[in-house]
Amino acid sequence: MAIEKKVAFITGGNRGIGLETARQLGKQGVKVVIGSRDLEKGKAVAEKLRADGADVDVIRFDITKPADYQEAHNYFEKNFGKLDILINNAGISKESFFANNTSTVSKAILRETFDTNFFGTVELTQVLLPLIRKAPEGRIVNLSSILGSLTLHADPKSPIYGSKALAYDASKSALNAFTVHLAAELKDTKIKVNSAHPGWVKTEMGTDAAPMEIPDGAKTSVQLALLPATGPTGGYFHMGEPLPW
């Protein structure tokens, strides 16, 4: 008897860490659906992944457009009747990570950052959760950052103490709170919810100054997406190691 494929949805999956996550999950036999704001760009990368043997589709999806949440739900309901893995990968940063402008950051940047990194992610997850509940063992991975750690930000000796960008950092701290709260709500189910710190990666956001290559940056998301039944939930991880909240 054939085992039904797991189905994964990756927001912002047409480039960077999201694209590499799609590639690695595809190699693990997962059916991957990429959410891309630019459908043509998404189709182009999906074609390349399929050429490498991955089972990949793409849908037009913009985390800043609430109407897209229900469209995504309808797509998965119609085509699969479930969603095994949701990787909330889409995110933005509008600030410098090396200049602490907390006293002057604009309301516009705060709101835009939170709308994408937190509010949109929460609302999308709420819309898709009924389909995740239909999967045998659902997995939700929230792409956070070590910069969301309040513990490390408060410690002058920590490696991130000098890197403070209020809107981005606070949005990731809020996302971590969502992880903890949703995991607690779903603790009696087979769904696992975790936050991932991919690392400082050579992407458009991370810049070429980052020490990590993109393939390594996707590893934490993939690990959490494929957790066994005995795996953790409600945690905050990088490469299998827990991070302080």
Write 113-116 long-range contacts (CB < 8 A, 24+). Answer: 113/167, 113/168, 113/171, 114/167, 114/170, 114/171, 114/174, 115/64, 116/63, 116/64, 116/90, 116/91, 116/92, 116/171
* Residues paired with residue 88 on neighbouring β-strands, in sequence order: 142
In this structure, the strands spanning 241-242 and 7-11 are unpaired
Token couple for 20: 């590499």
Contacts of 40 (CB under 8 A, 6+ apart): none
Q: Which of 69, 75, 168, 236 is catalytic?
A: 168
Is 168 among the catalytic positions? Answer: yes
Give CA 199 to chain center in angstroms: 13
Q: And the tokens for 41?
A: 């760009």
- Report the 3 state secondary structure along 130-166: HHHHCCCCCEEEEECCHHHCHHHHCCCCCCCCCCCCH
- Among all residues, which ones are annotated catalytic? 168
